[in-house]
Amino acid sequence: MRLTDEQRAVIESDNQVSIINAVAGSGKTTTLIEYAACRPRERILYLAYNRSAAAELKERLLARNLKHVAVSTMHGLAYRYTGSHSLKLEGDISEWRLLDQYVPAAERATEHATLYAWLLKDLLNFYLNSDIRALDDSLLRAHMTITAPSDQAGALIERHGEEMLAILRNILADMRAGRTPAIHDFYLKLFQFVPARLPYDLVMVDEAQDVSPVMLAIVRRQSHLRQIFVGDSFQQIYGFRFAIDSLGAIEGNRYWLTQTFRFGDKLARHLSAQINNAYEILDETISLQIRGTEQDTRFGKQVRKQQSHKTVIARSNLSLFESVIEHITRNARNLYFEGGHPGYGFLNSRVVGLYYLKEGQAAKINDPFIQRFPSFDEVKRFAQDAQSQALSLAWDLVQRHGSRLFEFDRSIKERLVAKQYAQAVFTTTHKAKGQEYEDVEMVQDDFTTREDLARLYNSGKSDLNPARLKEEINIYYVAATRAKNSIRLADF
């Protein structure tokens, strides 16, 4: 591969801290591999975003015989250094278990008991992902500032904040002692308190625009290491998991990779103009600079809808589901879901529980959380108070499709094939991140438009969160930069 001048500037640098902002498809991983190849005597640690990215990188390094580069995820590193092999682990802590085991008995009998448990879970996840060490009022203030909770949730925290902090201490102590299962972010937080000196000369942090503050604190503490942070600030889309853009949060020598190798220059210029205009609406001075290739990547509504061999990208699970149903009614066969069909939760236990709640068949509800609600409408009110997008989407799915969900689920499963045999690939923007496809169709009326942004930004609402509006711009950008040959862009 012929390197650009921008890539060579990175490879030839030897700074204590380097910050590389790389646009979609600009070959950032290739750049870091070449950087490592030029330094065979250095011990290098490459921190990949997830296990699949780590596995792919290991294969590429093996092909180049770069044995001096170790690859890990941040969680994998924390697991080893904290000796967490003895912990009982689970993927997520359930609200119903918090309600049964930790919410005070006096609160369990109140109408806000479920919201209390939900807030405990949110505070726990916020603390584990933050760089805050102490469980005190500073945690509550930071949580309120960053999450901008609803009036009901905020009032509950104001009244019971100290009590909630005491409960969090108990939960963490129980996780450490094995009295209750720990979640994976627990041992990541433990790593923040371990005075380990990593035995490397250089650490590379990939996808640095979406790291949690605790991850950044762990890396920055290793001051004896040279540090390279690489990512794309315009692809920061995990704020709902309390991720931050470390590329803008730290000081160092800055580099830009503005040449994409994925799509043509006309599309690159079109997207630059749209994204920059959207940021101007929010009074942001950040500017996207992206140059494309000489290839002709067709885009816009002039691209004809294809019946097969395409990838459909949606903003939400609900819109993706409806797009799948639309394709099935047009006799689409051989379907694949990026990351696997089960991960989309079209008919998981929570959705099924909501259906039976709506139908007044409480005895059939297996989800302990949904069992707590007296009515279907009460779930909607709760989702609004808790600002739970996932629960709102599940509610909307049941409200819109009802018993047809079971028939649709069977139809989808009958058509599932391996990715290489699929006539149509379906994915949300978040699951499409890091992927590229030949031909893409963005689901219409599912992405936030610039008109929406202007209306929301100028609404004057006290609970307005500009960071969430910026993330909506980035979600559009991620979806719009996945295609190589053609893309039907959603309105923006």
Neighbours of 120 (CB within 10 A): 21
- Residue 24 annotated as part of some ligand binding site: yes
- The DSSP code for 364 is G
Neighbours of 110 (CB within 10 A): 12
- Residue 29 annotated as part of some ligand binding site: yes
Long-range pairs, 168-171, Cβ under 8 A, ≥24: 168/120, 168/123, 168/124, 168/127, 168/135, 169/135, 170/102, 171/98, 171/102, 171/120, 171/124
Structure tokens at 144: 């309120």
Neighbours of 90 (CB within 10 A): 13
Long-range pairs, 61-65, Cβ under 8 A, ≥24: 61/33, 61/36, 64/33, 64/37
- Residue 353 annotated as part of some ligand binding site: no
d(C-alpha 299, C-alpha 192), whole Å: 46
d(C-alpha 147, C-alpha 166), whole Å: 21
- Residue 63 annotated as part of some ligand binding site: no
In degrees and rounded to multiples of 5, residue 433 shows phi and psi of: -60, 130
- Residue 358 annotated as part of some ligand binding site: no
The vertex-68 CA angle with 190 and 80, nearest 5°, equals: 20
DSSP SS3 for 302 = coil
d(C-alpha 45, C-alpha 68), whole Å: 9
**In this structure, are residues 99 and 114 in contact, taking their beta carbons and an 8 Å threshold?**
yes
- Residue 429 annotated as part of some ligand binding site: no
Question: Which residues are registered as beta bridge partners of 228?
Answer: 18, 204
d(C-alpha 162, C-alpha 168), whole Å: 10
Give the residue numbers of the binding site for ATP: 22-29
Binding-site entries: 22-29
